[in-house]
Amino acid sequence: MTLVDCGIYLPDEAEADHGWDHLVAALAACEVAPRDIERLVITHPHIDHYGMAGRLIDESGCELWMHEAAGADLAAYQDPEGATRRLSEMLRDHGVGEHEIEELTAYEDWRPFVSRVVDADRALQGGESFAVGERVWTIVHTPGHSEAHVCLWSASDRILLSGDHLLGAITPHIDFRRGDENPLGDFLASLQKIEDLAPDLVLPGHGRPFEDGASRARVVERHHDRRLGSILQVIRNEPHSADEITQEIFGGTLLHFEKRLALGEALAHIAYLREQGDVERIEDTDGGLKYQKVRRKHLSEEEED
């Protein structure tokens, strides 16, 4: 028996049994017990998909399958102080005031929501296949929301288990952290993979199942195109810091957690625009980083020829 994702592990003050009873009840609705699980496939190691993995492995002895790029997310669980320090340095570079940094970095310790940090028994790369009953599922690596994100594809009946990569009602958060290259570019390339597969039915990690996955992928792509255009409009006349861009795009009345997500999203879009050659980064007189639109020289018809 194979289970895809296992839910969150809840702190004592939230649930007497850390939410384990919810997982047991969900399995029982499918006439399955935890001891029946032989393989646990994690779409990505965020707490709401991975948190209960250690407990399930202890109860069932199942194998854990997860993409080989999961190490960065697991390291953040193991060293939240280091993750907080790196995030603080990044926020400071990008114009966030000292009075806000402590509040914006208060959400980096996710250890209470992970039963224990467990590594994969099988590190996936994408392209692996396995049979469950009459279906054969293929692992599709879809980085973006997480570098380690995978979807599961059944070609025989065109069903996609999409995790958080493709959702029916919202777009997944695309974050940026120091050291990342182009997470939005990765995400858009992954969207194209799903559009090419053209799933008839998508079973997402959140929300209801939906049809026509290719159409939904195109809608999400257009959403990001609009956001990229909005950022270019903000910086069309003068340089702005990422903090200033975030306030212009998302508004200035965000809660601290919302602003943390908005900053990461803005930085991911800026990184994409820099990769495309549309935006350049400059250093202001105080040593902070700002971004400006690249002014392209128009060639004459003779030069173009």
Q: How far is CA 192 from CA 40, 215, 218, 250, in A?
A: 27, 11, 8, 26
Domains and CATH numbers, the chain: 2-233 (3.60.15.10)
Residues in the chain: 305
Q: Is 13 exposed, middle or buried (0-12, 13-18, 19+ CB in 10 A)?
A: exposed
Render pLDDT for 216-273 as a digit per residue (tens, 0 to 9). 999 999 999 999 999 999 999 999 999 999 999 998 788 888 999 999 999 999 999 9
Which residues are paired to 203 by β-bridges? 161
- pLDDT bin (cut points 50, 70, 90) of residue 305 is very low
Render pLDDT for 81-136 as a digit per residue (tens, 0 to 9). 999 999 999 999 898 888 889 899 988 889 999 999 999 999 999 999 999 999 99
Query: How far, rounded to the nearest angstrom, does the alpha carbon of residue 167 sit from its chain's CA centroid?
Result: 12
